[in-house]
Amino acid sequence: KNEVEQSPQNLTAQEGEFITINCSYSVGISALHWLQQHPGGGIVSLFMLSSGKKKHGRLIATINIQEKHSSLHITASHPRDSAVYICALHTGNQFYFGTGTSLTVIP
C-alpha cells in the first residue's frame, strides 16, 4: 500500500502548455512537499505546503487537506522544466515519497 500516489507517472508536453501533476495521499500529514529532480540527480525543494496555495514564478502548488490531494501546476512550460517531480509527505517524524512524475517538455 502506497501512502502517496502521483499521477500521471509520465507526461510529455509541448513548450508553452499548462501542466498539472497530481498527488493523493492516505495519511494525516503536517506538511506536503513538492520536489524537482533533474537527470543529474540533485533534488530541489519547490514548495512546502500545509494549506491553501503557493506560487513561485511559473509554478503553483495547491493542497486540499480535507480531500487529501495536492496539485502542482506549471504555466507556460519550457524544456528546462523537464525533470522528475516528486510529492513527499511529512507525518510527524516520517517522510514518505511518491514515485514521481517524469515530465518532458518538447520545444
Of 86-105, which residues contact another protein (CB under 8 A)?
86, 88, 90-93, 95, 97-100
Please choose, out of 16-24, 40-48, 56-64, 67-75, the segment that lies near another protein by the rule CB under 8 A.
40-48
Pairing of strands 59-64, 69-74: antiparallel
CA 67 to each of CA 24, 49, 51, 70: distance values in angstroms, whole numbers, following the listed order: 8, 14, 12, 9
Closest CA to 68 of 84, 93, 51, 92: 51
Closest CA to 85 of 17, 24, 11: 11
Does residue 40 bind another protein (CB under 8 A)?
A: yes
Q: Which one, 11 or 86, has the nearer CB to another protein?
A: 86
Shortest distance, CB of residue 39 to another protein, whole angstroms? 11
Size of the residue set binding another protein (CB under 8 A): 23
Does residue 39 bind another protein (CB under 8 A)?
A: no
